[in-house]
Chain A
Amino acid sequence: MKFTLNGTERTIEADGDMPLLWAVRDIVGLTGTKFGCGAALCGACTVHVDGAPVRSCQTSLADVEGKSVTTIEGVGGEVGTAVVAAWRKLDVVQCGYCQSGQIMSAIGLLSENRKPTDEDIDAAMDGNVCRCATYQRIRAAIHDAASNLA
């Protein structure tokens, strides 16, 4: 299976049915993308495929053949930098385990919508569970990042 991961072309010898999550974590060894539910119910495994957020636990390796995958380790660019900076400025994290996925979803939202309303944030982020309930700060951080985007 060939695809681009964080800007580098990769060939992975694995069954095309293997979820992208496990290929990235167990075969490539990038562990920033997290396993939370295995059923696209929590968003901890969110990565970008060709720039759009997807749940990597429900995306097979075959699905990404020839495509470009970005994980938390590959975050950059104007939006990514603004989001990570806002997360740090507001000390959003508690246990931190869901935050890779939260950040990937937030970057997805702000890449499409530079001035999201609270309702836009609800719609884009409701699939990302945080059991520490850092939601108030996630919301504030998204607004903060938006304010720093042109």
Chain B
Amino acid sequence: MHLITPDHYRQMLASLAPATVPSRRNFIKGLAAAGGALVIGVHFQAGKAFAATAAGGPAAAPMPNAFVRIAPDSTVTVLIKHLDMGQGVTTGLATIVAEELDADWSQMRAAFAPANPQLYNNLAFGPIQGTGGSTSTANSWEQLRKAGAAARQMLIAAAAQEWGVPASSITIAKGVLTSGTRTGSFGAFAEAAAKLPVPAEVTLKDPKDFTLIGTKLPRLDSAAKTDGTAIYALDIRRPGMLTAVVRRPDRFGATLKSFDASAAKKVPGVVEVVAVPSGVAVLATNTWAAMQGREALTDIVWDESGAEMRGTAELTEEYRALAKTPGKPAARRGDAVKGLAGAAKTVEAEFAFPYLAHAPMEPLNCVIEKTAEGVTITTGSQFQTIEQGVTASILGLKPEQVKIETVWAGGSFGRRANIPADYIAEAATILKATDGRAPVHLVWTREDDIKGGFYRPMFLHTVRAGVTADGKIAGWEQRIVGQSFIIDTPFEAFMVKEGVDGTSVEGASDTNYAIGNFAVDLHTPKVKVPTLWWRSVGHTHTAHVVEVMIDELAHAAGRDPVEFRLELLTDKPRHTAVLKLLAEKAKWGPKAGPGKGRGIALHESFNSVVGSVIDVSVVNGQIKVERVICAVDCGIAINPDVVAAQIEGGVGFGLGAALHDEITLDKGVVEQANFDTYIPLRMSEMPKVEVHILPSANAPTGIGEPGVPGVAPALSNAIFDATGQRLRSLPFRLEDFKA
């Protein structure tokens, strides 16, 4: 399965400016915990031709910098350096520019920026263009404010020259420049402004003067996504394009030995069948023919000598055995063992988490085609710089010869931010195996996606924690066991510290609760199942363990779960404020009554703090999730409605994992294949979600992921409240649970 060796990355990273490789600290902050961005500054392209054309963007003049184009018709196009996979970043980033530019929302447009790590790198990732860690808004905030303010200043300067008035006499409101009785549109001055020097210094607005930020502006993508015109990678068509599907082995780590393509080649529409490192690729003139051709392959023999043969049961036993031994220290404070010796009550618990597929609605796919300069890839690209480097290394090109056109992505949840760029690399190997004769559209089916690996790793946690006679936490000892998807990649240098992968322990080792005697250990077993970040990464499991255990300790101490938490957060004003807002909005108080339950969780991830209260009821012995109330501190909410949508969606995504999602293996073979066995959350299971945003004057922090982590623990705590039964391991499988 691993097409790409670490050497490919090293070549790729070496091709980037070495002086700008991020420090480990910044990289960890960027990818694992977001925020605290390494500010490199805005790359204004004053007076230079802006050669690249973004997908769907107008081929207008490069006015006035790399992020803002103002056309003669007064439309303002914001170049979006991030992937929009549903999180609404096109709307949010365009709002930042519109605010500083004093544009009218109706004149704003967005276009995906071309792949260019010099212009469009994620400031939280260093020299890499990419989207992840809920950093898109946070890293763009200052950059786009400056870009918008510069464009505004240049329009004013152009108008001042034209009108012969001092710049100070000109104001802009809703996209109209005014001086005395004169008025003008952006378009009227766009050309003149483009010829002016880009200001070295710009003055940013005082947030109290914001008129667009903080309001519910309509999304820029609603129209195209409701009339069938939004173009995703699956919708790309090129002259002579062939669609490729690949037969891959059933076991991870197996390789192709031999196959018979004679029957497949007889399927009408099938053009070519080639062996590639990942399996057998069948290329056809349409998708259906390619699928039929793949079905017709015979006598496929795989070499399984290097394959993963263990199943979920064996791995669970191995993880359990590992958890009985000390691991690498991820956190140490005080003396956990000694503290626990003095506990009046002790809770010991095990939490198991399965592998999880991301299963974005758009099955993975991309188009790759040979061009005069190299190749062009069209896809919902999330890690442009990585994909350029990996593709270049496969095809013997320079990274800049790999052009990437980013299009709307039908979901990702982390799947497209792939360190080995797996499906992009696979497409490149198919193009190579067919000598680039035709553009190749690689399409994965749903079964390919569910069975294809790059899962959230399986994890197993054990915790021993206790409270003193006066209701304080006496000690906390936690062991975490799970694979790393960072070790053995070039990211290891930035993200692994003394053998501890930060993405495995984030949310636990750095808990905000003031626990004096505290120890977290990590075991990192090697398994050949490819794994990856999954919406909210380590927090998907650490938040659950911490928030359930805190609830268990509160009950052991006979304390109210909110008061118990507040006492542990006295030096954390943001967490305290979110928890108090949540308690107020949820009317936290005495028990709801028979047949009802409510649970709470509070967690920080990606520099945002989210509190969740879940109300459940027991109906005919079954648990029903009735309502979820969330309180959020994500700094300034650029668009509160988009923030709410991300929390609503995050709740649904987290609930799917709490109730159903699970990838299991039998002797190395994945047992799920499609949405009948890998069960998604559906309409009838979606609770009412209420979102309350804490007013803030601070810079924006993450919002795409932070809604997810609190869902499973708040639900576990609610079920305990309703039934006295404690559910710890995921998924809960409530259909089998008798309340």
Contact residues of A with B, CB < 8 Å?
15, 18-19, 22, 25-27, 29-39, 41-42, 44, 71-73, 75, 84, 87-88, 91-100, 103, 121-122, 125-126, 128-139
Contact = CB atoms under 8 A, between A and B. Distances in A.
A35 B681 CA distance: 19
B231 interface: yes
Contacts of B286: 22, 26-27
A88 B219 CA distance: 8
B648 interface: yes
Q: Interface SS of chain A: helix, strand, loop or mixed?
A: loop
Interface stretch (B552-560, B609-617, B682-690): B682-690
Nearest to B409: A95
Interface string B615-647: 000000000000000000000000001100100
5 nearest A-B residue pairs (beta carbon): A32-B228, A133-B652, A97-B410, A96-B225, A95-B86
Contacts of B652: 130, 132-135
A93 B650 CA distance: 14
B287 A97 contact: no
Given A95-B360, A131-B359, A137 B221 contact: no
Given A34-B234, A37-B446, A132-B649, A25 B287 contact: yes
Contact of A95 (B361, B445, B680, B684): B361
A37 B651 CA distance: 23
A129 B682 contact: yes
A42 B221 contact: no
A90 B227 CA distance: 15
A103 B224 CA distance: 13
Contacts of A36: 361-363, 446
Contacts of B221: 93, 96
A103 B222 CA distance: 13
A64 B68 CA distance: 48
Contact of B85 (A87, A95, A98, A125): A95
B228 A31 contact: yes
A136 B689 contact: yes
A82 B445 CA distance: 33
Nearest to A15: B268
A127 B223 CA distance: 24
Interface in B213-235: 218-219, 221-232, 234-235
Contacts of A99: 225-226
Contacts of B686: 133, 135-136, 139
Nearest to B677: A41
B683 A32 contact: no
24 contacts: A15-B268, A32-B228, A34-B410, A42-B361, A42-B446, A75-B227, A84-B227, A91-B218, A93-B226, A94-B87, A95-B85, A95-B360, A95-B410, A96-B224, A96-B230, A122-B683, A122-B684, A131-B360, A131-B680, A132-B361, A132-B411, A132-B653, A133-B651, A133-B681
A18 B284 CA distance: 14
B442 to A, nearest CB: 14
Given A41-B674, A133-B652, A31 B234 contact: yes
A148 B405 CA distance: 40
A100 to B, nearest CB: 5
B288 A35 contact: no
Contacts of B423: none
Contact of A32 (B87, B229, B408, B680): B229
Contacts of A98: 361, 410
A135 B288 CA distance: 31
Contact of A31 (B224, B235, B291, B680): B235
Given A93-B221, A96-B221, A131-B680, A34 B674 contact: no
B683 A91 contact: no
B737 interface: no
Query: Contact residue range for chain B?
Result: 35 or more
B446 A72 contact: no
B631 to A, nearest CB: 17
Contacts of B518: none
Contacts of B86: 93-96, 132
B287 A35 contact: yes
User: Among B224, B361, B408, B682, which residue has the most Cβ atoms of chain A within 10 A?
Assistant: B361
A19 B291 CA distance: 12
Contacts of B234: 31, 34-35
Given A26-B288, A96-B224, 9 more contacts: A15-B268, A34-B361, A39-B676, A91-B641, A97-B361, A129-B680, A131-B653, A133-B655, A134-B645
Contacts of B361: 34, 36, 42, 44, 95, 97-98, 129-132
Nearest to A93: B225
B656 interface: yes
Nearest to B291: A38
Interface in B51-79: none
Contacts of B653: 131-133
A89 to B, nearest CB: 8
B675 A88 contact: no
A82 B674 CA distance: 33
Given A22-B287, A136-B689, A126 B228 contact: no
B408 A71 contact: no
Contacts of B332: none
Given A94-B649, A95-B360, A133-B652, A33 B683 contact: no
Contacts of B354: none
B252 interface: no
B573 to A, nearest CB: 31
Contacts of A38: 291, 445-447, 674
A83 B225 CA distance: 13
A44 B641 CA distance: 25
Interface string B287-302: 1100100000000000
A73 B681 CA distance: 28
Nearest to B87: A94
Contacts of A139: 683, 686
A34 B227 CA distance: 12
Contacts of A97: 232, 360-362, 410-411
A94 B326 CA distance: 44
A100 B645 contact: no
B291 to A, nearest CB: 8
